[in-house]
Chains A and B, each alone.
Chain A
Amino acid sequence: MAIIAGGTVTVAQYVACMEKKDNYAHINSRISGASAKAGHMMRDQQFGTPAITEYADAVIVGGGVAGLSAARSLHHSGFTNFRLLELEPHTGGNASYGSNQYSAYPLGAHYLPIPNIENQPLLDLLAEAGILTHYNADGLPVYNETDLCYDPEERLYIRNRWQEGLIPQLGISQQTQDEIKKFLELMETLRRAKGSDNRYAFDIPADNSSTDASYRELDQLTMEAWLQQQGYHSEELRWYLDYCCRDDYGAGISTISAWAAIHYFASRKGKAGNADSSQLLTWPQGNGRLAQHLQQFSRDKTQTGCVVYKITPEPTQVLIDYYDINTHQIKRLVAKACIMATPQFVTQRLIPGGSYHHDFVYSPWLVANITLERVPESSGYQLSWDNVIYQGKSLGYVNAQQQRLTQQMPAKQVITYYLPLDHLDPVASRKYAIGLSPRHWVKLIADDLETVHPGITELIGDIDITIWGHGMIRPHAGFITGEVRAAAQKSPFANVFYAHSDLSGISIFEEAFYHGNKAANALAAYCS
């Protein structure tokens, strides 16, 4: 999604950490997706007028989940002559993945919650990909059981011990227990609540949520203010909600709006014949599994390494000018219409008269895939899919090999460590992240894990770091209901369509998929 341009790069920067005489010297590390070379090329470089002109019916700019979904949708509408231009060497965006000899692993998003049964397009996608196998007698979708997250699913390190589940339970006071119970009951009520327009108060895609003011006004205050107002004071509950916000939005309760924070809980009302709404679909390569499926519809129409630097809409056609990194050529694509599957900070720089509004804030992220001898055992609940540290600065780690069926322990384990860079404001965090050497990241990551797994540092062999400069849109208070977001929904040109999860204010697969489909449908309608 938000990977294209700006704070990210095309060319991976490989740096080995070779410092001697320290506890981290044995760890190989590399950072990919870190400098801003190609992205800044789009922003800073002056390109001439292209000499080569090619033609297509439609062009999609951006090959993240929104762009890939748009391509699939165009394919299904019968389009054969379209192109997809991607800045990176591969498509997939936040659903990109990597692998080594021990496991595949996500470079970004790693799961999809059980979808809401009203989200038919998404169910159709999953059926098409063989993940949804059939519908049972009650009409509920049944998922391939090897794609559902295997038990044990989650654990939390709290009070020097791992407990089952992420909601703090170990050693909490009666008051906290009551508050947690009250909060979860409220979420359950809101999950079913509908507004005066008879739409769900909170839904996925977010566009389908009720516009009833009584819910919408929750967007005006931060989650922290809302908790205060509602009389929630428990430290453990506040931590848990802060964790949830950081997990989904890359920023905590003091930033994220109450509407968005509640959306995290209340929008998920998935049903399935063989799973409940709290469960999820996951794969070793994370949402790379979904990206792989989507890629097949545009594989022969995709050009990677293309820096699109100018979009010129004309009454009957759109000119898309780009620089091909591979051939060093400047080219022009002339299409009847075009989809901008790019984040707003890119889109607004490319279209004539565009201006990027800073109400669109993007959270920077670090994702580190760590290959190690083994995750050391520690007291309490056993290694789970998601392993979270109470009051940790990171979100903990996911076991990339959770979905293994065999008895054999792999020779090495691979865990995916997630760190939202939210200790500074996004711009400062991005600068900080880009300035840090791999060696520093290694120390920071290893030291964080040492707090729960003493001795883990010497077991780590390799750390593959991915920095997402503009990892996900941040639904800060007022953004989702704000005018800036509303104004960005539609391009000022009849033949240019926008598709990106930042238009929802919520950076999840379902939103990107929704916007990709919506833009493709609009383009198809325009062309016919």
Chain B
Amino acid sequence: MEILLLLSVFVIATCGLIYELVAGTLASYLLGDSVTQFSTIIGAYLFSMGIGAYFSRFFKKDLLSWFIQLEILVGLIGGISSAALFLLFEHAASFRLVLYLLVGLTGTLVGLELPLLMNILKDRYEFKDLVSRVFTFDYIGALAASIVFPLLLVPYLGLIRTSCFFGILNVAVAMVVLVKFKREIKWAPYLKSKAVACIIVLLGLFIWADKIMTFAESQAFRDPVIYSHSSAYQRIVLTHSRLDLRLYLNGNLQFSSADEYRYHEALIHPAMLYSPKHSQVLILGGGDGMAARELLKYPEVEQVTLVDLDPAMTRLFRQNSMLASLNDSSLLSPRVRVINADAFQWLKENDRQYDVVIVDFPDPGNYAVGKLYTTAFYRKLRHALTDSSVVVIQSTSPYVAPKAFWCVNTTLQECNYQTIPYHTYVPSFGEWGYVMASPGPLAKHHDSLPAGLRYFAAGTFSQMCDFTADMQQRKVLANHLNNQILVQYFEDEWGKYQE
């Protein structure tokens, strides 16, 4: 009997450390800066365990029953902790608060465990034997946890399943104690049904963990996946590494926080130099708020209208504090009006005209998105422009997909736009292309740029307009709804590149 209780010390110790490790890992995934995260999580956790230890003195009667209650509770809270943190990451106003509350709660409960157990065992052992045995098993458990966690659990189970699994172990300890000490326990049937219910919940979570975070997905990305969500329109995935945070839509990289400033500065500022007026700006796509961030650097921009299909995207980049810090909370600015609508549909109903239009759609990798790069779309767009408005269109890589890039240019020209194609180097993307266009002649109207740019300078632009031999203009067809030639160019060229 006693050996059983000591074995449970081992299990409890393992579980306790696992919860701590899960919390630390999650915090560094989600918030970055792993040294700070791990250090503060461990501190908070140990401190909470101390609080738990202090409260253990108030338990005087029915210690075994209380111990079982406690195991069930630790199992449940520890078990669902990582799933809860992943889910709350998107919604919680202050993620840190939620994180530390959960760490504190788990720590307190774990801190109660050993003192309670020692109280139970105190009549069965000599005090010195008791201390020796309990702490031996405690530290062996800690060693086991610290070895299996990084080597087996994170790579093979993932964080959600790991915490579920150890939650189940905690509840299993409760079950075993319940069965073996049946006669000494009050409220046994009640405790038993509670334990069974918790196991069912945790098993369910273990099985359906994929719904919360596709495990396969976390293997498909280079870095740990910290958020993934299937909205009505796309699969949104965020990964976080020591170096950067990356956003993927349907598996395609949208930005890396390390160098997105290059992409977005090159997207916005040339058009601003060439546009005589800046007061009304339209962004089509760009739900991450990065393009809006660049635009808000211009005091003369009165209003930015951002039309993005997916409310899940704009919500994420507005509410999550870490992502909002990337876009300088642009989506919360009173100067930014966010509309969740289909761009084609919205343009049909729009009757306003804009001075600058930023078209930042996903690459034309399928026939649905391809429609947003057709003559039909650019003709529709013309109604939202004055004769001197300037449009800029992200146009995939002129190095990897020169035909696709020049096809965007040709398509715009067929719709009677004047164009200036240009490109820049974004390390995480490679060589990237844009086409600036206007219904009227394109000429530089401004020389000064707002302060705080890290990459783009007025003198840089002429270099960007220079295309080396391997990116030279190709003779290509214009993209129409009835040929969707751009999607074919894009598939051919990127397909080859990825082989």
Contact = CB atoms under 8 A, between A and B. Distances in A.
Interface string B216-239: 000000000000000011000000
A406 B484 contact: no
B249 to A, nearest CB: 12
Given A405-B376, A407-B309, A151 B345 contact: no
Interface string A383-420: 00000000000000000000001111100000000000
A152 interface: yes
Contact of A408 (B233, B369, B374, B375): B233
B233 to A, nearest CB: 7
Contact of A382 (B367, B371, B482): B367
Nearest to B361: A407
Contacts of A333: none
A146 B232 CA distance: 26
A403 to B, nearest CB: 8
B481 A407 contact: no
Contact of A148 (B344, B481, B487): B481
B480 interface: yes
Nearest to B377: A405
A456 interface: no
A149 B367 CA distance: 13
B244 interface: no
A150 interface: yes
A151 B309 CA distance: 23
Contact of A405 (B344, B375, B487): B344
Interface in A274-290: 274-275, 279
Nearest to A152: B367
A118 interface: no
Chain A residues touching B, majority SS: loop
B189 to A, nearest CB: 42
9 contacts: A145-B374, A145-B375, A145-B379, A145-B480, A146-B376, A151-B483, A274-B482, A405-B345, A407-B343
Contacts of B376: 145-146, 405
Interface residues of A, number: 17
B465 to A, nearest CB: 30
Interface string A252-289: 00000000000000000000001100010000000000
Nearest to A382: B367
Interface of A: 145-146, 148-153, 274-275, 279, 382, 405-409
Given A407-B233, A408-B233, A149 B345 contact: no
Nearest to B483: A151
Given A152-B484, A275-B482, A406-B345, 6 more contacts: A145-B374, A146-B376, A148-B481, A151-B487, A407-B309, A407-B372
A148 B484 CA distance: 12
A146 B377 CA distance: 10
Given A146-B481, A274-B480, A407-B233, A151 B367 contact: yes
A151 B342 contact: no
A148 B482 CA distance: 6
Contacts of A274: 480, 482
A309 to B, nearest CB: 47
A149 B482 contact: yes
A153 to B, nearest CB: 8
Contact of B371 (A150, A275, A409): A150
B325 to A, nearest CB: 29
A399 to B, nearest CB: 11
Contacts of B375: 145
Interface in B479-499: 480-484, 487
B368 interface: yes
A102 to B, nearest CB: 15
B342 A408 contact: yes
Contacts, number: 53
Nearest to A408: B342
B484 A407 contact: no
- Specify which of B232, B233, B376, B379 lies most central, judged by the most chain A CB atoms within 10 Å of its CB: B376
A407 B482 contact: no
B372 A151 contact: no
Contacts of A150: 367, 371, 481-482, 484
Interface string B189-215: 000000000000000000000000000
Contacts of B379: 145
Contacts of A148: 480-482
Contact of B481 (A151, A382, A408): A151
A137 to B, nearest CB: 14
Nearest to A150: B481
B342 A279 contact: no
A151 B366 CA distance: 11
Contacts of B484: 150-152
Contacts of B232: 408
A407 B483 contact: no
A273 B487 CA distance: 22
Closest 7 CB pairs of A and B: A151-B484, A148-B482, A406-B342, A405-B344, A150-B481, A145-B376, A406-B345
A432 B483 CA distance: 42
B471 to A, nearest CB: 27
Contacts of A279: 482
Nearest to B478: A274
Contacts of A151: 367, 481-484, 487
A382 B342 CA distance: 23
Interface string B373-408: 011100100000000000000000000000000000
Most-contacted residue by chain B among A149, A152, A406 (CB, 10 A):
A406
A291 to B, nearest CB: 23
B254 to A, nearest CB: 16
A458 B482 CA distance: 32
Contact of B369 (A152, A382, A407): A407
A145 B482 contact: yes
B410 to A, nearest CB: 14
A148 B481 CA distance: 8
Given A145-B376, A152-B484, A407 B367 contact: no
B234 to A, nearest CB: 9
A153 B367 CA distance: 11
A413 to B, nearest CB: 13
Given A145-B482, A149-B482, A274-B480, A405 B309 contact: no
A236 to B, nearest CB: 25
A297 to B, nearest CB: 28
B6 to A, nearest CB: 55
A151 B375 CA distance: 14
A222 to B, nearest CB: 35
B217 to A, nearest CB: 19
